[in-house]
């Protein structure tokens, strides 16, 4: 598989910005706000470190990381045929993932890295272009440490609690999806569309807060994502299924 170069990432970022720049109402403010304080996650990250200090992490695992959609996903039970590591922490933005990169990504040896990120960033008011730049920065770090490891992005979902952000979420998803076509190491899984009905979020898949998925929502994700994983494995993207 070919790697994705830092230069190519930046060129693609600029090209996408020029394509979408006319949609000012989607991009919001163009000044970059300072990142939120990553220390608000100290306790959650310390729990990851404590677990890792006492346990041996599986080699060639599926590594899930990102915000609450990953944190609340019972990935180990949902995909029993695979070795799984879940390093989601709720409310996180990509800047937090970069700050804690060594604790949530850099210390493992995954066969596939699965990302769900960007939703909280955009909902906080950040311009889509700036969020996409942060995403590229995360890919750059992953590429430096894991130049042959595929990375899969799960599309960020719309929800009734963030209905005003629907178009901005969709625009970000389109940017990431387009970028995923530039490398055989990058993949995009659309798990957002199945959660909508008649162009609006289907609340039956969400908890009472109308933000986080309920059991029914994750059952749908398990079905769709499980099929996607099986297809990737069949195509030789990764090999890690256990025999037991």
The tens digit of pLDDT for each residue in 113-170 reads 999 999 999 999 999 999 999 999 999 999 999 999 999 999 999 999 999 999 999 9
pLDDT exceeds cutoff 80 at 184 = yes
More confident call, 240 vs 27: 240
CA distances from 105 to 49, 143, 160, 186, 244 (A): 12, 12, 31, 16, 26
Q: Please give the Cα distance from 89 to 91 (Å, whole number).
A: 7
Q: What is the mean pLDDT of residues 201-220?
A: 98
pLDDT exceeds cutoff 90 at 238 = no
pTM of the model as a whole:
0.89
pLDDT at residue 100, as a whole number: 98
Q: Are 163 and 201 in contact (CB under 8 A)?
A: yes
Q: Please give the Cα distance from 44 to 185 (Å, whole number).
A: 30
Containing 24, the helix (H) or strand (E) segment is helix 24-27
| Lookup: tokens for 2 | 């070919």
Residues 71-109: tens digit of each pLDDT: 999 999 999 989 999 999 999 999 999 999 999 999 999
**CA atoms lying within 13 Å on the CB side of residue 150:** 25
pLDDT exceeds cutoff 90 at 69 = yes
Domains in the chain with CATH codes: 6-22+39-234 (3.40.50.1110)
């Amino acid at each position: 598989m070919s790697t994705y170069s830092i230069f190519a990432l930046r060129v693609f970022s600029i090209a996408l910005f020029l394509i979408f720049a006319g949609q000012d109402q989607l991009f919001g403010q163009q000044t970059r706000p300072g990142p939120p304080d990553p220390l608000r996650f100290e306790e959650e990250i310390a729990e990851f470190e404590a677990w890792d200090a006492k346990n041996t992490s599986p080699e060639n695992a599926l590594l899930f990381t990102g915000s609450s959609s990953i944190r609340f996903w019972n990935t180990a039970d949902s995909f029993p045929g695979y070795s799984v590591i879940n390093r989601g922490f709720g409310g996180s933005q990509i800047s937090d993932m970069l700050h804690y990169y060594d604790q949530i990504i850099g210390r493992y040896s995954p066969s596939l890295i699965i990302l769900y990120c960007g939703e909280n960033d955009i909902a906080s008011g950040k311009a889509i272009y700036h969020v996409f730049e942060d995403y590229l920065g995360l890919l750059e770090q992953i590429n430096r440490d894991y130049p042959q490891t595929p990375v899969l992005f799960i599309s960020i979902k719309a929800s009734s609690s963030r209905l005003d952000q629907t178009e901005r979420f969709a625009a970000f998803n389109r940017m990431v999806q387009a970028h995923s076509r530039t490398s055989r190491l990058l993949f995009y899984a659309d798990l957002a569309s199945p959660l909508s009905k008649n162009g609006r979020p289907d609340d039956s898949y969400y908890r009472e807060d109308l933000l986080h998925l309920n059991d029914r929502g994750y059952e749908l994700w398990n079905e769709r994502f499980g099929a996607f994983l099986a297809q990737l494995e069949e195509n030789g993207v990764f090999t890690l299924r256990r025999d037991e």
